[in-house]
Amino acid sequence: MDLRPFLNRFVIIGSLVLAGILILVTLILIGWTSPRFSPDVGFAPADLTMIPAPTHTPAATTTFTPDPLASPTFDPDTVHIEGYVQITGTGGDGLRIRSAPGLNTETVFRGEEAEVFLVKDGPQEVDGYTWWYLVAPYDDTRAGWAASEFLAVVPAP
């Protein structure tokens, strides 16, 4: 069967014109039926995930048993450099950790009740408080000065 008489230039041009018209009609219909986006929509509400606050962990109590063969260089019940302390006595409000010793210095962050820190410097007496420089053992960016009245000595983790 010879298809040459059916494939002349009028049939091919007519097919292309018909295809173009169908594509144009489709695009117009899609444009009319799609939702319009307004530029002044504003901010969409975000989902909020509430993370519960940490629960209160009572301060650990340590019982010191001196080694009769070793001579202690420090009292394990007092705050000392390279010792560990825990925030306590804030009533759950946390403790302001400051950029320098003193009540009028900038607050760097708020340490949570029962949070444990490593003592790196101190003591310094300022504004009637004894201040110690603390660093969180799990995050070096959580560091600053805290008043010893809200610190309890704990054993190394």
The verdict on residue 126 lying in a domain is: yes
The verdict on residue 102 lying in a domain is: yes
Please state, in angstroms and rounded to a whole number, the distance separating the CA atoms of residues 105 and 99. 6
The two tokens of residue 14 are 């007519």
The verdict on residue 75 lying in a domain is: no
The count of domains in the chain is 1
The verdict on residue 105 lying in a domain is: yes
The two tokens of residue 93 are 């409000």
What one-letter code names the amino acid at 60? Answer: A
The verdict on residue 28 lying in a domain is: no
Please state, in angstroms and rounded to a whole number, the distance separating the CA atoms of residues 100 and 96. 11
The two tokens of residue 31 are 């444009």
**Enclosing domain of residue 147:** 84-154
Q: What global pTM score does this model have? A: 0.52
| Greatest pairwise CA separation for the chain in angstroms | 116
Q: Tens digit of pLDDT per residue, the chain (157 long)?
A: 677 777 788 888 999 999 999 999 998 888 766 666 655 556 666 677 777 777 776 666 666 666 666 544 555 678 889 999 999 998 888 999 999 999 999 999 999 999 999 999 989 999 999 999 999 998 888 999 999 999 999 988 7
